[in-house]
Structure 1
Amino acid sequence: MTVESVLEQLAALGSEQTKKTLLRHGGPENMYGVKVQDLKKVLKQTKQNHALALEVYATGNSDAMYLAGLMADPKQMSPTDLQVWAEQANWSMLSEYTVPWVAAESGHGLEMGVSWIDSDQALIASAGWSTLGSYVALQPDDQLNLALLEQLLERVKTSIHASPNRVRYTMNNFVIAVGCYVVPLHEKAQEVAQAIGEVHVSMGDTACKVPEAVGYIQKVAGMGKIGQKRKTVRC
């Protein structure tokens, strides 16, 4: 398939209703409004095609960019490639999901995540915290830098409420991820979750809510799933 044929299929699969929904969530005008399950119909045809994924992402069309994240081979992404993707991600669906998922599975997740959280651009900082949350969900505990993660938990505790809107959302999710996936830091994450309390994030004209970290971690613990790693974070 070519970039042109991918865009043609996406245009045919898009709907105004889905586009309106995504716009309410902060999406850009440059999209067709394709549901994720329909994006995966195109993915069945392209399969993993890294070269095509890079071209598709570069179109700037939001539906295409999300599809590119599913189509790419993360192991072929260089830090430079990931930086370009992070800088081109222009709303939360891309900056908090597509880019972090690929970064976390690339082998450069820790490096990129730690770099991005220091950005003065909220979308890139959000990508950083989301990348770190996905990274700990994938990486075995004995391969994690636990001291660094503990420092990052402390950073969240002291700075979350003064951080930009969507950065607060992803910092909160990072605490949840550490609490659920990293056994040695489970109790520390619970302490931080208790300390930060309710996190206020404007979710626009939507019914979306910010997960309450203490309750979320406790729910996972109640199911006996603390420390159960994931094979992939892309979906």
Structure 2
Amino acid sequence: MTLQQVLDAIRSASSEQTRNTLMKHGAVNIYGAKVADLKIILKKIKNDQALAMQLYDTGIYDAQYLAGLMADGAKMTAQQLEHWVKTSDSHGIAEYTVPWVTAEHPEGWKLALQWIDAGNEKIATSGWNTLGGIVSMKEDAALDLPMLEKLLKRVEKDIHKAPNRVRYTMNGFVIGVGTYVGALEQKAVETARKIGTVSVDMNGTACKVPGAEDYIKASRNRPGGVKKKKTIKC
């Protein structure tokens, strides 16, 4: 499929109701296609890396979301990832699409550590969610456990004074470490207890900030235990 054919397919699958719902969650420049419909389009395209780059550069929310599902992050350059993070203008793209591909990249960890220090709120959220994605995918032996401990301490110290969406993704990072890194489960639970309730403006939606300690405990105790993910794309 060509770029225009994909955009036409997205537009055809869109509805005003979905568009309004996504806009309430911070999406901008959007057609209004459901994720399920984007995945149907994805099956027709399969793995077209060049097309994924073109879709992202349209700046259209739905196209960027689809680009994240389609692209192989390991095949992207660090420059492409930097471009994606710097041009993401919706929470859904910054917090999910960009981390999906960055977590797959060999330099994803390094990039994420740089991004969490960014003065830009959306870039910082991409960094924290990339770190959370990496810990959910990589075996513990391949993770920098001392750095993860330092990052937990940083969250404990900074979360309540961090920008709004950064607070949300910091809390998610604590959940990710506690859920997927067995050696740091207790450290993450201790961090969750110390930070307590995390207040985030959810823009009038019904979404809530998950309690990190309860979420970790529920995840660790589910039937079959915790298994590392193959991908964080959804």
On whether the aligned pair clears a TM of 0.5, the verdict is yes
Identity %: 48
Does 2:174 correspond to 1:175?
yes
In structure 2, distance between residues paired with 1:200 and 1:178: 20
Question: How far does residue 89 in structure 1 lie from its aligned partner after superposition?
Answer: 0.9
Q: What secondary structure sits across from 2:171 in the alignment?
A: helix
**What secondary structure, in the 3-state scheme, does the structure 1 residue paired with 2:26 have?**
coil
Q: What residue number does 1:195 align with?
A: 194
Q: Show the counterpart of 2:57.
A: 58
Equivalent in the alignment of 2:8:
8
Distance (whole Å) between structure 2 residues aligned to residue 52 and residue 221 of structure 1: 39
CA distance in 1: counterparts of 2:220 and 2:103, whole angstroms: 24
| Counterpart AA for 2:66 | L
Q: In the alignment, does 2:45 pair up with 1:40?
A: no
**Native 8 Å contact 2:219 2:226 kept in 1:** no
Which position in structure 1 is the counterpart of 2:27? Answer: 27
TM-score, scaled relative to structure 2: 0.98
Deviations 1:142-165 (A, max 9, x none): 000000110000000000000000
Deviations 1:209-232 (A, max 9, x none): 000001001111222666521111
Q: Contact 1:180/1:226 (CA < 8 Å) preserved in 2? A: no
Q: Any runs of at least 4 consecutive aligned residues in structure 1 with deviations exceeding 3 A, and if so which?
A: 224-227
Alignment partners' CA distance in 1, 2:70 and 2:222: 33
1:109 Cα deviation (Å)?
1.8
| Alignment of 1:109 onto 2:108 | yes
Per-residue deviation, 1:92: 1.0
* Aligned pairs (5 A) from 1:1-235: 1-28=1-28, 30-223=29-222, 227-235=226-234
Q: Deviations over 1:176-227 (max 9, x none)?
A: 0000000111110000000000000000021000000010011112226665
Aligned residues: 234
> What is the letter of the counterpart of residue 16 of structure 2?
E
> Which digits, 9 at most, give the CA deviation of each residue in 1:1-40, with x for residues without a partner?
1111111111111100000001111111x11100000001
Aligned-partner SS, 2:30: coil
Q: Give secondary structure in 2 for the equivalent of 1:214.
A: helix
Give the whole-Å Cα distance in 2 for the aligned partners of 1:50 and 1:106: 14
TM score, norm. by length of structure 1: 0.97
Residues 84-93 or 225-234, more deviating: 225-234
Q: CA deviation at 1:108?
A: 2.1
Distance 2:81 2:44 in 1: 24
Distance 1:137 1:108 in 2: 16
State the distance in 2 between where 1:187 and 1:22 align: 36
Q: Pairwise CA RMSD of aligned residues?
A: 1.0
Measure, in 2, the Cα distance between the counterparts of 1:197 and 1:225: 28
CA contact (8 A) 2:121 2:165 kept: yes
- What SS does the aligned partner of 2:153 have? helix
Contact 1:182/1:227, CA 8 A, preserved across alignment: no
- Listed as ranges, the gaps of 5+ residues in structure 1 are none
